[in-house]
Amino acid sequence: DMSLSPRVNSVKPSKTVAISDQAAALALAGVPVIRLAAGEPDFDTPAVIAEAGINAIREGYTRYTPNAGTMELRKAICHKLKEENGLTYTPDQIVVSNGAKQSLVQAVLAVCSPGDEVIIPAPFWVSYPEMARLADATPVILPTQISNNFLLDPKHLQSRLTEKSRLLILCSPSNPTGSVYPKELLQEIAQIVAKHPRLLVVSDEIYEHIIYAPATHTSFASLPGMWDRTLTVNGFSKAFAMTGWRLGYIAGPKHFVSACGKLQSQFTSGASSISQKAGVAALGLGYAGGEAVATMVKAFRERRDFLVKSFREIDGIKISEPQGAFYLFADFSSYYGQEAEGFGKIEDSESLCRYLLDKAQVALVPGSAFGDDSCIRISYAESLTTLQAAVERIKKALAPLH
Ligand code: PLP
């Protein structure tokens, strides 16, 4: 009997992971692909952080830790949340996991009942709707417009809330759009949340440090009345270039966070002891990750500026300037419907990405993966030289189309 559980059948595999894997396979086969599909900084983990991990191994710090994370790391996280985000938590209100992805899925599983609605503004990070489905909840997708910088319209949110609405998932700075929610807009959203006592907010703040002034980050839980209603998720992967260390966390009211910890105790137990030592060192770098993080953010900003300028010059592409993260989410829909010689018709974001992989050997992710088929996501976690080459290749591949 080859049947699989209905739960598995209801979930789509991650398209970003699939495309990254496909591009990696092409690269292995010797095709000179430029890979701008992955959501991963191109930098090495800062040396002090890596050394802390190495020392942990040398010192035999290689055993199980408490399920919720070491007291040392949870205290450091509380300190960070206080200093940087104006949020007061105690260590028993924190659960450390094997990446923010795990923190998120546990949060969704911990609070949603079958049939509950999970409100997700689109474009969204690929995993949110699938996490809702895993919990037998219903993802409710709220589209946003590029002309409004892909920000959620509070009136739209208000009009879609019902007594079944259990979770609203916010992500700022956003993957895939790079949009940053201004404080005033979050305040408007908070006023709506306040009127719906069943509704909780998961605030995914994993890109918080990768932000370009004058944009600033506001933690949703810091808004009046929202501490009780918010589960704040953050992690180490993006800001500290620690994707492979697998370390993230959730902070929130103990009632909910303990439920996340209960699930974790049966799924995976505590995160890697070595990674947690490295996490303590990362938070020890000082406010917003100090110099080490500032250097990476400066490089991301230069790349953002280069891509924004380059894509503004290409006919038929619309963009909204990203204020954070390391993605450009550009509207290529004016190319849809065109015939490409030796390829066929470009129908949608997926066929355009296939065309660009074929013709330009640049790997990008179709917007359909993020709930917006008019766009394509370009990750700029690559060197400026690589990005320059990619832009040239894309221009050349698009030229015969318009
Ligand atoms: N949230 C968002 C928006 C992301 O883009 C990612 C990584 O791609 C994650 C969460 C998960 O990060 P990790 O599990 O590596 O901590």
Q: What is the ipTM of this complex?
A: 0.99
| Same domain flag for 247 and 259 | yes
| Same domain flag for 284 and 296 | no
| Same domain flag for 233 and 296 | no
CA of 275 to the centre of ligand 1 (A): 16
CB of 39 shorter than 6 A to ligand 1: yes
CB of 127 shorter than 6 A to ligand 1: no
Domain boundary among 288, 323, 351: 288
| Same domain flag for 106 and 232 | yes
Domain boundary among 288, 315, 342: 288
Give the closest residue to 181 by CA, choosing from 84, 302, 325: 325
| Same domain flag for 203 and 114 | yes
| Same domain flag for 37 and 123 | no
| Same domain flag for 320 and 297 | yes
Do residues 364 and 378 touch, judged by C-beta distance below 8 A?
Answer: yes
Distance of CA 24 to the CA centre of its chain: 21
CB of 99 shorter than 6 A to ligand 1: yes
pLDDT by 10s per residue, the chain, length 402:
999 998 888 888 777 777 778 888 888 999 999 999 988 999 999 999 999 999 999 999 999 999 999 999 999 999 999 999 999 999 999 999 999 999 999 999 999 999 999 999 999 999 999 999 999 999 999 999 999 999 999 999 999 999 999 999 999 999 999 999 999 999 999 999 999 999 999 999 999 999 999 999 999 999 999 999 999 999 999 999 999 999 999 999 999 999 999 999 999 999 999 999 999 999 999 999 999 999 999 999 999 999 999 999 998 999 999 999 999 999 999 999 999 999 999 999 999 999 999 899 999 999 999 999 999 999 999 999 999 999 999 999 999 987
The burial of 204, by beta-carbon neighbours within 10 Å (0-12 exposed, 13-18 middle, 19 or more buried), is given as buried
CA of 100 to the centre of ligand 1 (A): 6
Structural domain for 111, as ranges = 48-288
| Same domain flag for 298 and 281 | no
Question: For the chain, what is the domain count?
Answer: 2
Structure tokens at 192: 């709506």
Q: Is 133 inside any structural domain?
A: yes
How far, in Å, are 7, 62, 384, 402 from residue 126 at the CA level? 17, 33, 26, 30
| Same domain flag for 102 and 246 | yes
Q: Is 1 inside any structural domain?
A: no
Q: What CATH number is associated with residue 352?
A: 3.90.1150.10
How far, in Å, are 16, 179, 248 from residue 13 at the CA level? 9, 25, 22
| Same domain flag for 102 and 133 | yes
| Same domain flag for 32 and 113 | no
| Residue of 130, 169, 179, 206 with the most ligand 1 atoms within 8 Å of its CB, for mutation | 206
CA of 75 to the centre of ligand 1 (A): 22
| Same domain flag for 300 and 262 | no
Structure tokens at 164: 């079944």
Q: What CATH number is associated with residue 221?
A: 3.40.640.10
Domain boundary among 218, 253, 288: 288
Between CA 23 and CA 296, with CA 375 as vertex, the angle to 5 degrees is 65
For residue 228, count other CB atoms closer than 10 A to its CB.
11
pTM value? 0.96
